[in-house]
Structure 1
Amino acid sequence: MFTGEKICLTAMRAEDLPIYRTWNSEMGFGRNYNSSPIRELSEKQAEEWFRQDSDRDFRFSIRPVKLDTFLGVCAIEDIQWTHRVGWISIALGTDYQGKGYGMEAMQILLNYAQNELNLHRVQLTVFEYNKPAIAMYEKLGFQKEGIFREFLQRDGTRFDMYLYGLLTSESSDF
């Protein structure tokens, strides 16, 4: 269930945290992953994020098949069990982007969302300048459902944030 051709999803490991902390301070990672200012997380912040345990959140490390290299993170979070809806996210280290790892990780994660968690809908947000991610989400069948106009400012320019959703009936991967 958690293994594809190139990658597998594993539990988060304590040894992933220093790498994850460093990535958060890199422009190519941080500016695509969230709207917060770029900064390295403190050990305490990373540890708190790592230790969060909830039946509404499922986080995974992305690794190459048969290797322990930490490529990134993906998650299904804030699940509303009553409605069978969850938020999905993915972030790869900048050295691992554009190699097909993200697409495969999302396919595995969507399969897990449908066949193990029994979710009906997953949703995500993405910034308008993250064209590779938008192309991947649309290839997976996600539908643009809304625009948060001029949601964030980067380097003096305002950017929209898009809301995408995917229903079980809309994708063979979900």
Structure 2
Amino acid sequence: MLDNGRVYLRALEPTDIDVIHRWENDCDLWRFGCATAPFSRHQIWEYLKNYTADIFAQKQLRMMVCLKTADNAVGMIDLFDFDPVNRRAAVGLLIDREYQRQGIGGDAMALLLEYARDVLHLHQVYAVVAADNAPSLWMFEKAGFRNAGTLHDWLLRADGGYVDALQMQLIVD
């Protein structure tokens, strides 16, 4: 288990179905990811049942972000688009609204980056972040990521407009 004394990262458990279902079906969060339709409890259950934490097979590793004091999941963090040849992966992070702006995302990111560097021996991690998502950009910058470029009109918004996305990159080794 990846642990810093306040926050820890753990594998997905079947008991996470309710919180994952809630997060995956929060339409307000869809603008930050790729979801465009709700997920059923059955779909989430099948995902949990078939999920393996083998990043080499799945090209993804998702973990739950938990607080030591409450021992409950307050978010998810993952490495995806894993490329073992070039030793890189994309990173995604979701922190429940109730727990945002408390440094939990930064703590979780630090733990994941340590794992990416020391266990997976990745050379770099990156994220594509909406240019108007100031809290996420601030967290990535604080974690050492730098803006590697702008993707113009990259993300379609619910109102039909587009927003730029920034490619945030960190060399970890």
Question: Which position in structure 2 is the counterpart of 1:71?
Answer: 74
TM-score, scaled to structure 1: 0.86
1:31 aligns with 2:34: no
State the 1:156 CA deviation: 3.7
Task: Kindly report which structure 2 residues correspond to 1:66-105, keeping only aligned pairs within 5 A, or say none.
Answer: 67-105=70-108
CA distance in 2, matches of 1:59, 1:25: 17
Unmatched runs of 5 consecutive residues or more in structure 2:
none
Task: Kindly report which structure 2 residues correspond to 1:75-154, keeping only aligned pairs within 5 A, or say none.
Answer: 75-154=78-157
Indicate conservation of the 8 Å contact 1:22/1:40, yes or no: no
Residue of 44, 47, 63 corresponding to 1:46: 44
Structure 2 counterpart SS, 1:19: helix
State the 1:149 CA deviation: 1.0
CA distance in 2, matches of 1:28, 1:110: 27
What is the percent sequence identity of the aligned residues? 26
Could you list the per-position Cα deviations for residues 134-164 of structure 1 after superposition, in whole angstroms to 9, with x for gaps in the alignment? 0110111111112221122322432112111
Indicate conservation of the 8 Å contact 2:89/2:126, yes or no: yes
Amino acid aligned to 1:6: R
RMSD: 1.8
Could you list the per-position Cα deviations for residues 36-94 of structure 1 after superposition, in whole angstroms to 9, with x for gaps in the alignment? 33x43112332343333342322110111154311010011222111111111111111
TM-score, scaled to structure 2: 0.87
Task: Kindly report which structure 2 residues correspond to 1:50-65, keeping only aligned pairs within 5 A, or say none.
Answer: 50=48, 51-53=50-52, 54=54, 55=56, 56-65=59-68
CA distance in 1, matches of 2:47, 2:147: 29
In terms of mean alpha carbon deviation, does 96-105 or 52-61 score higher?
Answer: 52-61
Structure 2 counterpart SS, 1:104: helix
Q: Which stretches of structure 1, 4 residues or more, deviate above 6 A after TM superposition?
A: none
Unmatched runs of 5 consecutive residues or more in structure 1:
170-174
